[in-house]
Amino acid sequence: MKLSQLRDLTCIVETGSLRAAARRLDVAQPLLTRSIRSLEKELGTPLFERQSTGMVLTPLGQRFYERARVVTNELRRAGEELLQAQGNATGTVTAGLSIMPHMGMLPRALPAFRKRFPAVRLQLVEGLFPDLEEDLRKGDIDFYMGVTPTVVPPGFVRERLSGNTRVVMARKGHALGGARSFAELVQAEWALPAVDYHSEQDLISIFEKRGLPPPRVALQARTALSMMVTLTSTDLLALLPMQWVGFAQLRASVQPILLDEQLAAPDIVLIRRSGLPMTLAAEHLCDLLRREIGPAG
């Protein structure tokens, strides 16, 4: 089995056809066909079904591809690591970030990273760990930083970076902007952020502990952009990480409702695959983000 065959296989899956893969790899299509047939012969099973819509993995082919994808990703990283260690800083870093790092850490870390690694392509994926777990496991994402999940499966290392707090956010000039307790918010409608635990039940429990009726939830936003649009264009309230308060780009359109109590938020963590080092560029980005959050508290 040759490494070039694994490269060919993953490229066909990613592009969906022999023709597209041949163009990306800049090889003749017949050579690519022979490469896959040779691999199938060696493995003793077909890896693809040839359909009118393109190349589709067989069930066994899918299992093999999952392993091949990890291998090719790690080989790519190994090559990038050597180049970066020699001062030729190229390659790609893919970071999975929840809303909090996007707003509270990335704005200052990003310019510093671009200055140190101007030729490295940075890919940012917004999401929570449960959404990004599979891509992180396969090596498509270098690391996850953000809200801690309830459970971290085997194969990953979790590093606690900091605790956090939450604040009620509303559009600028909201009628309830002067409220100081949840009792004053019982008539409000709410938007929920996407989290991996039961966010609606979490909000309900806050009201129940204060002897208040359950809040009315009207919307759940899976991305920061959806939440921004919701807050700026409606009267919905949202309980969000306190970093929303300091995000300069929102100060003219949203405001915190400063209640006379502090609400804890889930910890902020870094999660990466165990037993596999990150590239120098990925490690540098992690260090820059850590500096922005400060020491764990």
- Residue 179 is part of a domain; what is its CATH number? 3.40.190.10
In a domain, 147, yes or no: yes
Name the residue with tokens 């990283």.
Answer: 77
Domains in the chain, number:
3
Instruction: Label residues 17-45 b or e (16+ Cβ within 10 Å = b).
Output: ebebbbeebeeeeeebeebbeebbeeeee
**Tokens at 62, concatenated:** 């899918």
Q: How confident is the model at residue 3 (pLDDT cuts 50, 70, 90)?
A: confident
Q: How confident is the model at residue 297 (pLDDT cuts 50, 70, 90)?
A: very low
Give the model confidence (pLDDT) of 25-46 as tens digits. Answer: 888 888 888 888 898 888 889 8
In a domain, 297, yes or no: no
For the segment 202-217, the average pLDDT, to the nearest whole number, is 94
| 145 shares a domain with 59 | no
For the segment 255-284, the average pLDDT, to the nearest whole number, is 89
| 159 shares a domain with 95 | yes
| 135 shares a domain with 217 | no
- Residue 18 is part of a domain; what is its CATH number? 1.10.10.10
| 36 shares a domain with 115 | no
Q: Which domain holds residue 40?
A: 3-78
For the segment 233-238, the average pLDDT, to the nearest whole number, is 96
Cut 0.75: pTM above it: no
| 260 shares a domain with 171 | yes
The percent of residues above 70 in pLDDT, for the chain, comes to: 95
| 246 shares a domain with 281 | no
What letter represents residue 257's amino acid?
A: I
Per-residue pLDDT at 249 exceeds 60: yes
In a domain, 255, yes or no: yes
| 226 shares a domain with 98 | no
In a domain, 83, yes or no: no
Give the model confidence (pLDDT) of 109-156 as tens digits. Answer: 999 999 988 888 999 999 889 889 988 988 889 999 999 988 899 999
| 245 shares a domain with 172 | yes
Residue 180: its pLDDT value, please?
95
| 281 shares a domain with 154 | yes
Among 78, 103, 122, residue at a domain's last position: 78
| 247 shares a domain with 198 | yes
| 156 shares a domain with 177 | no
Per-residue pLDDT at 254 exceeds 50: yes
Give the model confidence (pLDDT) of 168-206 as tens digits. Answer: 999 999 999 999 999 999 999 999 987 555 788 889 999
Contact 157, 275 (CB under 8 A): no
| 155 shares a domain with 273 | yes
**Tokens at 40, concatenated:** 């199938």
